[in-house]
Amino acid sequence: MAKLKTSYFCQNCGYQAPKWLGRCPSCGEWNTFVEEVVQKSEPERGRWKPAGPATSPRPRAISEIKYQDQPRLLTPDAELNRVLGGGIVPGSLVLIGGEPGIGKSTLMLQIALSLPGTRVLYVSGEESDQQIKMRAERLGDTSSDCFILTETSTQTIFKQIELFEPDMLVIDSIQTLQSGHIESGAGSVSQVRECTAELMKFAKESGTPVFMIGHITKDGSLAGPKVLEHMVDTVLQFEGDRHMTYRILRTTKNRFGSTSELGIYEMNGTGLRQVSNPSEILISQRDESLSGITIGATLEGNRPLLIEIQSLVSIATYGTPQRSSTGFDAKRLNMLLAVLEKRGGFRLGAQDVFLNIAGGLKVEDPAIDLAVCASIVSSYEDIPVPDSVCFAAEVGLGGEIRAVNRIENRIAEAEKLGFREIWISRYNGKGLDTSQFGITVRTASKLDEVFASLMR
């Protein structure tokens, strides 16, 4: 009979201890240790075993290693291809996290159904095969190359993999899988870690890409041990409000591409629709000019975006003025307000200031500083900024307008969307050939120059 061993695991970071501890020595969290029973069993029973004779690994010089560049698998989803860095890498392990009901299962089933000629095994531990069939019919596609397996035991899953030999594997979700090598329940730290390790071994030795759907905790981080994110090759975060139509697929880790890319989808009755030009949906269509609204040019990875910034400045009715921002760093907002009061002479100390980035985006690019300042001053003075003007510049503590990177891409995006004028830093304008653009490029070195031209 196999020997049973009891260990204590931190539910936050996965740290293992022989006895219960009040505070985790690894992450510093309190009361996170849970007792789990770990079974020591045969090392090869039920695990993934590659075909062919087993060979023990030996050290090899890096010059001896033969490397063959394998082409990536391109999906019909251009947004997913961009986020993954150019397509699906053979043998990669991808983790997708997101809130319940955000559309993770819909996205992966949609990808599995859109790959004709690619044998996809979709393993679900949360839904029955009839429920998945209903969703597939709603998506309007029932590919004959997509196969469904409703199972939670990794031993049974790997037996079916050996018989089926899929070209791609989808796990929905990793918290529902259970390995016979661990006696604890599904979703525990030890189970998640063991199941992920078995799937990682399968992906690397067989060259089959594996997609895993993961749950998140109430604070928005992926559930399970932190080592889970270290083990996988790519971590994707599916964000958005369940009550709104738009979803954002963001990369937080990628060994095969940039971590700054994002994809935008629209959720409708037939699934997730790709949004190829997100600037059009991030800029609202207004019938009349309103004060406090400006357009800023930002970058998400290699993709330029034009976003709408909305501000509302009003007299504080209570003793302490409110400072509220949605989608923008609150500390940076306070800094820009101090710059406007000190360098621009605007009395904002007794004003309530509310700032919103339209479309549900969270922007960290300092290139929208000038647009934020123009939006606040527009609301304070109650003078609308022309809707044909956009901004792309950083604002310093001295009130100076600083240069930003890749200004040509930002100007080209503004021109494509029909803007007639863009304000940039004077230092960006040096050496810039403005004749190649069909948009008026205005340069400035101080905030006063911009406000004197716009607020007249």
Q: Domain coordinates of the chain in residue numbers? A: 1-41, 75-276, 281-454
CA distance 211 to 231: 13
pLDDT at position 410, please? 92
pLDDT at position 45, please? 44
Above 80 in pLDDT, residue 50?
no
pLDDT digits (tens, 9 = 90+) for 267-304: 888 888 888 877 777 777 666 778 999 999 998 877 88
Q: Interior CA angle at 155 toward 154 and 161, to 5°?
A: 85
Above 50 in pLDDT, residue 252?
yes
Bridge partners (DSSP) of residue 210 are 93, 169
pLDDT at position 173, please? 85
Above 90 in pLDDT, residue 341?
yes
pLDDT at position 47, please? 58
Above 80 in pLDDT, residue 144?
no
101 is in an annotated binding site: yes
| Count of CB atoms situated within 10 Å of the CB of 177 | 25
* Mean pLDDT (whole number) for 120-145: 87
Q: Which residue has the higher pLDDT, 48 or 407?
A: 407
Q: Place 43 in a pLDDT band, splitting at 50, 70 and 90.
A: very low
Element (H, E) at 264: strand 262-268
Above 90 in pLDDT, residue 349?
no
In eight-state DSSP terms, residue 422 is E
Above 50 in pLDDT, residue 241?
yes
100 is in an annotated binding site: yes
Contact (Cβ atoms closer than 8 angstroms) between residue 236 and residue 81: no
Q: Which residue has the higher pLDDT, 378 or 226?
A: 378
CA distance 13 to 24: 9
In eight-state DSSP terms, residue 148 is E
pLDDT at position 42, please? 47
pLDDT at position 38, please? 67
22 is in an annotated binding site: no
CATH 2.60.120.640 fits 281-454, yes or no: no
CATH 3.40.50.300 fits 75-276, yes or no: yes
Q: Place 39 in a pLDDT band, splitting at 50, 70 and 90.
A: low
76 is in an annotated binding site: no
71 is in an annotated binding site: no
pLDDT at position 8, please? 86
Q: What is the pTM of this model?
A: 0.73
Above 90 in pLDDT, residue 442?
yes
Mean pLDDT lowest among 217-226, 234-243, 323-332, 377-386 = 217-226
CA distance 138 to 124: 18
Work out the end-to-end distance of the chain between its first and last CA atoms, rounded to an integer number of angstroms. 86
pLDDT digits (tens, 9 = 90+) for 172-222: 989 899 888 777 778 788 888 889 999 999 999 999 999 999 988 776 677
* Residue type, position 341, single letter: E
105 is in an annotated binding site: yes
Which residue's entry shows tokens 């700032």?
Answer: 355
Bridge partners (DSSP) of residue 401 are 395
Q: Which residue has the higher pLDDT, 224 or 134?
A: 134
